[in-house]
Amino acid sequence: MTEKLRIVITDHGFDDIERERGVIEQAGFLLEVAECRTAQDVISCAQAADALLVQWAPVTAEVLAASPRCKLVVRYGIGFDNIDIAAANDAGVAVCNVPDYCIDEVADHTIAMVLSLSRQLHQVDARVRSGTWRIVPDRRLPAARDMTFGTLGFGRVARAVMDRAAAFGFARIAYDPAGVAAPGVESVTLSRLLRESDVISLHAPLTAETRHVINDEALAGMKRDSILVNTGRGGLVDLDALADSLRTGHLGGAGLDVYEEEPLPITHRIRDAPNAILTSHVAWYSEQSVPRLQVMAAEEVVRGLQGETLLNPVGLVREVGR
């Protein structure tokens, strides 16, 4: 009898994995569930795995070397910073993410932050609560139709954000090394994006080139009173530099849902920076985004092990076994 292929969920934060189990066992594969936190934990549970489903556990070169049967790693979610893509390429292991399970949720969260910051809702709310009644805001407040909305990156989420921004009348520009193609959105250089945008929303992957792409120099090059929103990857922003820019009043506001270190340290200066909205990596969430993520991740694993074309490979290896 042919041995069944084995899929290991290294770690997860869900209430249960019955959705994955249904998809995987219906396809005739075995499913095992672990609670890995370290690379050594993954090594101990993945040596006989043909594929890994991973949420936060690290998949390093050492993990891949110790898992000779593994030909596919699927990450629950969009980012894949915890997976060594270069090592996976060298080992012939395909890596996939699930980039389309929460596009609307993140886009909605982004626009909610932009509107709150641009209309200065939190500042005016605090003023009213303190007993001050004025019918004009404390800072410059242009209408959306007179503002330019820029995105750094132009993937699925950025395009959804831009569709929403269009409804409010923003002029729209974007910078992406891979190019920008959408009606009504002008492709610009990074320097022009920084210089001309009243709002900049970050939607780039985190790489060696994009880490701290928003730093002291970039912030200094942004418009005075402009707004920065990051619902992408925490490492895109030098958080200390951002705190400084908010404190000096150069930047008009910032909305952050992701951070280079999570949870956000209780002592970090960004917590006390003025005109900042801080949320706890919740932009992805809705009542349906969780089950959608679980099912889509399991379906990608099954697709790969059945020899079908992978929908969302992120490395050089595009098919399992090739």
Residues 34 and 85 in one domain: yes
* CA nearest to 188, candidates 172, 204, 201: 172
Q: What band does 104 get if pLDDT is binned at 50, 70 and 90?
A: very high
In a domain, 167, yes or no: yes
Residues 249 and 146 in one domain: yes
pLDDT of residue 321: 67
322, pLDDT greater than 60: no
In a domain, 68, yes or no: yes
In a domain, 310, yes or no: no
Q: Which residues contact 42 (CB under 8 A, 6 or more apart)?
A: 10, 34, 36, 52, 57, 58, 59, 63
In a domain, 235, yes or no: yes
Distance CA 248, CA 266 (A): 22
In a domain, 1, yes or no: no
pTM of this prediction? Answer: 0.90
Beta bridge partners of 47: none
27, pLDDT greater than 70: yes
3-state secondary structure 7-29: EEECCCCCCCCHHHHHHHHHCCC
In a domain, 59, yes or no: yes
Q: Which residues are catalytic?
A: 233, 262, 281
Instruction: State which residues form the domain around 135.
Output: 103-278
pLDDT tens figures, 134-178: 999 999 999 999 999 999 999 999 999 999 999 999 999 999 999
Residues 228 and 153 in one domain: yes
Q: Which helix (H) or strand (E) holds 33?
A: strand 30-33
Distance CA 52, CA 283 (A): 25
CATH number for the domain that contains residue 90: 3.40.50.720
Q: What single letter denotes the amino acid at residue 2?
A: T
3-state secondary structure 241-278: HHHHHHHHCCCCEEEECCCCCCCCCCCCHHHHCCCEEE
Paired sense of beta strands 148-152 and 51-54, if any? unpaired
In a domain, 34, yes or no: yes
pLDDT of residue 2: 66
Residues 148 and 13 in one domain: no
75, pLDDT greater than 90: yes
Residues 86 and 111 in one domain: no
pLDDT of residue 3: 86
What's the structural domain count of the chain? Answer: 2
Residues 131 and 225 in one domain: yes
In a domain, 312, yes or no: no
Residues 168 and 54 in one domain: no
Residues 293 and 171 in one domain: no
Distance CA 270, CA 289 (A): 29
Residues 210 and 92 in one domain: no
Residues 18 and 123 in one domain: no
Residues 148 and 264 in one domain: yes
Diameter over CA atoms, the chain: 79
